[in-house]
Amino acid sequence: MAGLAFAAGAFAALAVQRLHGEAMLLARLELMHEEQRQHHWRTDMADKHRLHFDLLCKAVQDPDLAAVLDTYEIEITPTQLKQYLFANALYGNLLHAFRSGTVSLEEALGHMRGICQSSIFREYWEVTGHHRESLPAGSQERLLARHVDEIVARANDENDQWWVA
């Protein structure tokens, strides 16, 4: 009888150990799946950003293509259009770095404080305000854009000390 109880206890202990091992394995597999999903998301974002940048470069070099991207509600010169496309590329690059986690929000805002010292960038930002109206409220782009709105407003103030956080 004691031998049977011992065998039953040993069997139960092995079963618990096996279940624990399987649970650990499942947790590890789920973690690996999540890491793989995040890797694919980052790769897709990088590919999308690269394509967007390539298209902007083509538009800057070809006025006929640039005309497609002229969605501003004011009349602008071809030179201004090139400048606005370049400003869009600067912002898009920083947005991509923020989204991918290669720069923190604080680092992104530090870069934006420098970029926003350009009156051309500030003009671009003001005439593209309607482009940002439909951004989802909780998106990373909306978050960054709200901060850039504040930086632009401060940079437009003659007394602004842009280097102060």
pLDDT of residue 56: 87
In the chain, where the domains are located = 46-156
Structure token digits, residue 34 = 């999540």
Task: Between 105 and 7, name the one with better pLDDT.
Answer: 105
Residue 3 has pLDDT above 80, yes or no: no
Coarse DSSP helix, strand, coil percentages of the chain, rounded to the nearest 5 percent: 80, 0, 20
* CB-based contact 136:97 (threshold 8 Å): no
How far are the Cα atoms of 26, 155, 159 from residue 110, in angstroms, in the given order? 42, 13, 18
Q: How far apart are the first and last CA of the chain?
A: 77
pLDDT grade for 70, boundaries at 50, 70 and 90? confident
Question: Residue 23: is its pLDDT beyond 70?
Answer: yes
Q: What is the pLDDT of residue 164?
A: 54
Question: Which pLDDT band holds residue 81 (cuts at 50, 70, 90)?
Answer: very high
Does residue 20 have a pLDDT over 90? no
Question: Are 72 and 128 within 8 A, CB to CB?
Answer: yes
